[in-house]
């Protein structure tokens, strides 16, 4: 497998592999959406098959639910689980305070609900996702379809008073049609360049009529597991302030990740 993966894919894999070790029998686990989260689901499926691991997964999208069932993970809804032991998910960006931008894969609403319904949230990412300031990655904002141009105008007007570098926004598209989330909403991607105060921006965005939720995750993430292309892994815990460094040796595998080509982000 190591010969078939790019350095970024290797980094995502080692982070996901390390995070999969955190799951124990009987846990209720939130399963994120995106390319890195898909590696996690595959790694957990391997543990289910080879070790007999038994846990229940709460997916954050229909795509993740389908993949989890495919690899043998027991899938339940958040309504059934009510509360989770841990959620493990990717991120489009994270800063030194563990603030995140998420939603590149289009599932930010379910991802935020599931993450906040957990005892802890673990983020898995390649090293390129670590930034000094959030905002280089477009900030997704989920909005209802009704009157979305008005919502967009209100957002751009509000951004004039925010500590950001840019104020442009675009409606996310799928071909010639607007992208539709699992909840039937649209996504506006805000091209901000730099976000000076993620907490303030998140609070103000969610007060705008038509906005359902935004992709800023503030005070939600507890641990970040960063993978590197050479197999190194860095674990950072915001609660203890500790950082651990490990290394994972690559082992050839029967191409268990060959069908992940559609999982582009996070």
pLDDT tens digits for range 19-56:
999 999 999 999 999 999 999 999 999 999 999 999 99
236 and 149 in one domain? Answer: no
DSSP string, the chain: -GGGS-HHHHHHHHHHHHHHTT--TT-EEEE--SHHHHHHHHHHHHHHHHH----EEEESSHHHHHHHHHTT-EE--HHHH-SBSEEEE--SEE-TT--EE--TTS-HHHHHHHHHTBS-EEEEEEGGGB-SSTTSS-EEEEE-STTHHHHHHHHHHHHTTSSBS--EEEE-EETTEE---TTS-EEEEEE-S-BS-HHHHHHHHTTSTTEEEESEE-S---EEEEE-TTSEEEEEETTT--EEEEE------S-TTTT-TT----
| 59 located within any domain | yes
pLDDT of residue 5: 87
45 exposure class (CB count in 10 Å sphere: 0-12, 13-18, 19+): buried
121 and 7 in one domain? Answer: yes
Q: Is there a binding annotation on residue 35?
A: yes
Angle at 177 between CA 157 and CA 164, to 5 degrees: 25
pLDDT beyond 80 at 6: yes
Confidence of residue 253 (pLDDT cuts 50, 70, 90): low
Answer yes or no: are the C-beta atoms of 229 and 7 closer than 8 Å. yes
| 260 located within any domain | no
pLDDT beyond 50 at 16: yes
Q: Is there a binding annotation on residue 90?
A: yes
Confidence of residue 1 (pLDDT cuts 50, 70, 90): very low
* Mean pLDDT for the chain overall: 94
For residue 54, give its domain range. 2-130+219-247
pLDDT tens digits for range 115-153:
999 999 999 999 999 999 999 999 999 999 999 999 999
229 and 126 in one domain? Answer: yes
pLDDT beyond 70 at 260: no
- What is the CATH number for 160? 3.30.70.260
Q: Is there a binding annotation on residue 32?
A: no
59 and 188 in one domain? Answer: no
pLDDT of residue 208: 98
| 154 located within any domain | yes
104 and 18 in one domain? Answer: yes
44 and 20 in one domain? Answer: yes
Q: Is there a binding annotation on residue 96?
A: no
| 254 located within any domain | no
| 124 located within any domain | yes
pLDDT tens digits for range 189-220:
999 999 999 999 999 999 999 999 999 999 99
194 and 158 in one domain? Answer: yes
Average pLDDT value for residue range 75-88: 98
In total, how many domains does the chain have?
Answer: 2
120 and 62 in one domain? Answer: yes
154 and 26 in one domain? Answer: no
174 and 86 in one domain? Answer: no
pLDDT beyond 70 at 77: yes
| 40 located within any domain | yes
Q: Give the residue numbers marked as catalytic.
A: 111
179 and 114 in one domain? Answer: no
pLDDT beyond 90 at 13: yes
pLDDT tens digits for range 167-190:
999 999 999 999 999 999 999 999
Q: Is there a binding annotation on residue 102?
A: yes
- What is the CATH number for 13? 3.40.50.1360
pLDDT beyond 90 at 2: no
pLDDT tens digits for range 148-165:
999 999 999 999 999 999
pLDDT of residue 4: 78
| 56 located within any domain | yes
197 and 180 in one domain? Answer: yes
């Amino acid at each position: 497998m190591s010969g078939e993966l790019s350095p970024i894919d290797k980094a995502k894999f080692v982070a996901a592999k390390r995070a999969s070790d955190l799951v124990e029998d009987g846990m209720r686990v939130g399963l994120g959406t995106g390319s890195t989260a898909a590696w996690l689901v595959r790694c957990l499926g391997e543990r289910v098959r080879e070790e007999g691991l038994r846990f229940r997964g709460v997916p954050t999208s229909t795509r993740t639910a389908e993949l989890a069932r495919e690899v043998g993970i027991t899938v339940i809804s958040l309504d059934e689980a009510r509360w989770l032991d841990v959620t493990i998910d990717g991120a489009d960006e994270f800063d030194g305070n563990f603030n995140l931008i998420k939603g590149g894969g289009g599932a930010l609403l379910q991802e935020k609900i599931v993450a906040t319904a957990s005892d802890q949230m673990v983020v898995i990412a390649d090293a390129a996702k670590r930034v000094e300031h959030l905002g280089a990655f477009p900030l997704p904002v989920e909005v209802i379809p009704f009157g979305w141009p008005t919502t967009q105008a209100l957002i751009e007007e509000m951004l004039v008073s925010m500590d950001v570098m840019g104020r442009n926004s675009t409606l996310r598209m799928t071909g010639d049609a607007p992208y539709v989330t699992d909840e039937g909403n649209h996504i506006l991607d805000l091209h901000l360049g730099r976000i000076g105060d993620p907490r303030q921006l998140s609070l103000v965005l969610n007060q705008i009529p038509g906005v359902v939720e935004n992709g800023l995750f503030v005070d939600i993430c507890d641990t970040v597991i960063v993978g590197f292309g050479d197999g190194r892994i860095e674990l950072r815990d915001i609660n203890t302030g500790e950082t651990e460094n490990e290394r994972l040796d690559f082992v050839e595998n029967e191409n268990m990740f060959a069908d992940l080509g559609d999982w582009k982000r996070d």
